Structure 1
Amino acid sequence: MLLRLLFTLVLAVGLAAFIYRKEDSPVTVIRINLLGYRPANSKVAVWGTLTNQTISSFQLVDAQNDRLISTHPAGRAFGAYGPFQQTYRLDFSMVKRPGNYYLRTANGTRSPTFRIGDDVYDGAADVCLRYMRQQRSGYNPFLKDSCHTHDGYTLYGPMPDSTHIDVSGGWHDASDYLQYVTTSANATYHLLAAMRDFPDAFTDQHQANGLSGANGQPDVLDEARWGLDWLLKMHPTDDWLFNQLGDDRDHAGMRLPKEDSFYGKGFERPVYFATGQPQGMFRYKNRATGVASTAGKVSSALALGYQLWHKRQPAYADQLLKRSQSAYKLGIQKPGNCQTAPGRAPYFYEEENYTDDMELATVEQLNATGATDKQATTWQNTALKFAQQEPVTPWILNDTARHYQWYPFVNVGHAELAKKLPPRQRKIVTDFYKRGIEIIWQRAQQNAFYRGVPFVWCSNNLTTSFATQCFWYRRLTNDQHYTALEQASFDWLFGCNPWGTSFVYGLPSQGDTPTDPHSAFTHLKQYLIDGGLVDGPVRGSIYRNLIGITLQEPDEYAPFQSDVAVYHDDYGDYSTNEPTMDGTASLIYLLAARQAEGHSSQRRNKKASKKQPITSQIIKSNASQVQLAASSKISLYYKGAKVRGDTTVRRLALVFTGDEYADGGHKIARTLQKRGVRASFFLTGRFLRNPAFASVIRNLISEGHYIGPHSDQHLLYCDWKKRDSLLVSRTQFITDLRANYAALASFGINTNTSRIFLPPYEWYNDSISVWTHAEKAQLINYTPGTLSHADYTTPDAPNYRSSAAILQSIRSYRQASQTGLNGFILLMHLGTAPARTDKLYAHLDALVTELKNSSYQLVRVDEL
Structure 2
Amino acid sequence: MKKLLLLVLSAFISLPLLADWIRINQLGYAPHSSKVAVWCSKEQDTLKYFELVNAQTGKIVFEHTAGRAAGEYGPFRQTSRLDFSAFTTAGQYYLQAGGAKSPVFAISDSVYKGTADFCLRYMRQQRNGFNPFLKDSCHTHDGFPVYGPDSVFVPVSGGWHDASDYLQYVTTSANATWHLLAAYRDFPNVFTDSLQANGLSGNNGMADVLDEAKWGLDWLIKMNPQDDRMYNQVGDDRDHQGMRIPRQDTNFYGHGLERPVYFCTGEPQGLLKYKNRSTGVASTAGKFSSCFALGTQLFAGLQPSYADILRHKATVAYKLGMQKPGVCQTAPGRSPYFYEEDNWTDDMELAAVSLGGSYLSNAWTFAQREPVTPWLGQDTARHYQWYPFINPGHAELARLSTGAQRDTLIRYYKEGIERVWRKASQNAFYRGIPFIWCSNNLTVAFAIQCYWYRQLSGDSTYIQLEQACFDWIFGCNPWGTAMVYGLPQRGDTPTDPHSSFTHLKQYPIDGGLVDGPVYTNIFKNLIGIQLQDADEYADFQSDLAVYHDDYGDYSTNEPTMDGTAVLIYLLAAKENAARQQGYTVTQHGITRMDSTRKEIALVFTGDEFGEGLTHITHVLQQEQVKGSFFFTGNFYSNTHFKAHIKQLYANGHYLGPHSDKHLLYCDWQKRDSLLVSQQQFSTDMKANLSKMQQLGIDTAKVHTYIPPYEWWNDTIAAWSQPLGLQIVCFTPGTGSNADYTYPEMGASYKSSEAIIKSVKAFGKNRTGKLNGVILLMHAGTDARRKDKLYLHLAALIKYLKQQGYHFRKVDELVI
TM-score normalised to structure 2 length: 0.71
Distance 1:568 1:335 in 2: 40
1:417 maps onto 2:397 in alignment: yes
**Among candidates 370, 387, 391, match of residue 390 of structure 1:** 370
Distance 2:542 2:449 in 1: 28
SS in 2 for 1:30: strand
Quick check: 2:94–2:104 contact (8 Å CA) kept in 1? yes
**Among candidates 58, 71, 74, match of residue 66 of structure 1:** 58
Structure 1 counterpart of 2:293: 303
Aligned positions, number: 591
1:532 maps onto 2:517 in alignment: no
| Aligned partner letter, 2:566 | S
1:234 maps onto 2:214 in alignment: no
Distance 1:110 1:382 in 2: 55
Structure 1 counterpart of 2:411: 431
Q: CA deviation at 1:69?
A: 1.0
**Among candidates 476, 481, 484, match of residue 464 of structure 2:** 484
Quick check: 2:498–2:559 contact (8 Å CA) kept in 1? yes
Q: CA deviation at 1:564?
A: 1.4
SS in 2 for 1:394: coil
Quick check: 1:415–1:472 contact (8 Å CA) kept in 2? yes
Distance 1:609 1:154, change over 3 A: closer
Structure 1 counterpart of 2:659: none
Q: CA deviation at 1:4?
A: 4.5
Structure 1 counterpart of 2:755: none
1:105 maps onto 2:94 in alignment: no
Quick check: 2:90–2:108 contact (8 Å CA) kept in 1? yes
Structure 2 counterpart of 1:332: 322
Quick check: 2:517–2:547 contact (8 Å CA) kept in 1? yes
Structure 2 counterpart of 1:75: 67
Distance 1:469 1:580, change over 3 A: same
Q: CA deviation at 1:380?
A: 2.4
Q: Give 1:136-147 correspondences, 5 Å limit.
A: 136-147=127-138
Q: CA deviation at 1:261?
A: 1.6
Distance 1:287 1:201, change over 3 A: same
**Among candidates 598, 608, 612, match of residue 610 of structure 1:** 598
Distance 2:20 2:474 in 1: 19
Structure 2 counterpart of 1:444: 424
Structure 2 counterpart of 1:31: 23
**Among candidates 559, 569, 574, match of residue 589 of structure 1:** 569
Structure 1 counterpart of 2:797: none
**Among candidates 311, 315, 322, match of residue 305 of structure 2:** 315
1:53 maps onto 2:45 in alignment: yes
Q: Give 1:83-482 correspondences, 5 Å limit.
A: 83-107=75-99, 109-160=100-151, 163-258=152-247, 259-366=249-356, 371=357, 375=358, 379-482=359-462
Distance 1:5 1:222, change over 3 A: closer
Q: CA deviation at 1:26?
A: 2.5
Q: CA deviation at 1:292?
A: 0.4
Q: Which sections of structure 1, spanning at least 5 residues, go unmatched?
A: 613-864
| Aligned partner letter, 2:228 | D
Distance 1:465 1:98 in 2: 29
Q: CA deviation at 1:25?
A: 2.0
Distance 1:3 1:90, change over 3 A: closer
Q: After superposing the two structures, state which structure 1 stretch, 549-558 or 392-401, moved more.
A: 392-401
Distance 1:7 1:244 in 2: 43
Quick check: 2:3–2:536 contact (8 Å CA) kept in 1? no
Q: How big is each residue's C-alpha offset from its partner over 1:35-60, in whole Å with a ceiling of 9 and x where there is no partner?
A: 11111111000000112222211110
Distance 2:510 2:85 in 1: 30
| Aligned partner letter, 2:392 | V
Q: How big is each residue's C-alpha offset from its partner over 1:493-543, in whole Å with a ceiling of 9 and x where there is no partner?
A: 111000111101101101111100000000001111110000000111111
Q: Which sections of structure 2, spanning at least 5 residues, go unmatched?
A: 584-591, 601-815
Distance 1:497 1:209, change over 3 A: same
SS in 2 for 1:252: coil
Distance 1:4 1:443 in 2: 38
Distance 1:197 1:590 in 2: 11
Quick check: 2:377–2:423 contact (8 Å CA) kept in 1? no
Q: Give 1:544-693 correspondences, 5 Å limit.
A: 544-601=524-581, 606-610=594-598
Structure 2 counterpart of 1:729: none
Quick check: 1:37–1:116 contact (8 Å CA) kept in 2? yes
| Aligned partner letter, 2:563 | G
Q: CA deviation at 1:423?
A: 2.1
Q: CA deviation at 1:3?
A: 8.8
Quick check: 2:128–2:157 contact (8 Å CA) kept in 1? yes
| Aligned partner letter, 1:195 | Y
SS in 2 for 1:58: strand
| Alignment RMSD (CA, Å) | 1.8
Q: How big is each residue's C-alpha offset from its partner over 1:599-624, in whole Å with a ceiling of 9 and x where there is no partner?
A: 22266675454399xxxxxxxxxxxx
| Aligned partner letter, 2:119 | C
Quick check: 2:22–2:101 contact (8 Å CA) kept in 1? yes
Q: CA deviation at 1:397?
A: 4.2
Quick check: 1:380–1:421 contact (8 Å CA) kept in 2? no
Distance 1:2 1:47 in 2: 24
| Aligned partner letter, 2:494 | P
Q: How big is each residue's C-alpha offset from its partner over 1:462-506, in whole Å with a ceiling of 9 and x where there is no partner?
A: 000100000000000101111111111111111100011110110
**Matched-pair identity in %:** 64
Distance 1:332 1:457, change over 3 A: same
Distance 1:19 1:502, change over 3 A: closer
Distance 1:608 1:548 in 2: 55
Quick check: 2:580–2:594 contact (8 Å CA) kept in 1? no
Distance 1:27 1:396, change over 3 A: same
| Aligned partner letter, 1:271 | V
Quick check: 1:60–1:104 contact (8 Å CA) kept in 2? yes
| Aligned partner letter, 1:522 | T
Quick check: 1:260–1:269 contact (8 Å CA) kept in 2? no
Q: How big is each residue's C-alpha offset from its partner over 1:171-220, in whole Å with a ceiling of 9 and x where there is no partner?
A: 00000000001100110000000000000110001100001111111000
Q: How big is each residue's C-alpha offset from its partner over 1:619-663, in whole Å with a ceiling of 9 and x where there is no partner?
A: xxxxxxxxxxxxxxxxxxxxxxxxxxxxxxxxxxxxxxxxxxxxx
Distance 1:300 1:546, change over 3 A: same
Distance 1:165 1:49 in 2: 58
Quick check: 1:186–1:297 contact (8 Å CA) kept in 2? yes
Distance 2:594 2:469 in 1: 29
Q: CA deviation at 1:8?
A: 6.9
Quick check: 1:306–1:317 contact (8 Å CA) kept in 2? yes
SS in 2 for 1:395: coil
SS in 1 for 2:106: strand
Distance 1:121 1:423 in 2: 36
Q: CA deviation at 1:395?
A: 0.8
Distance 1:6 1:210 in 2: 37
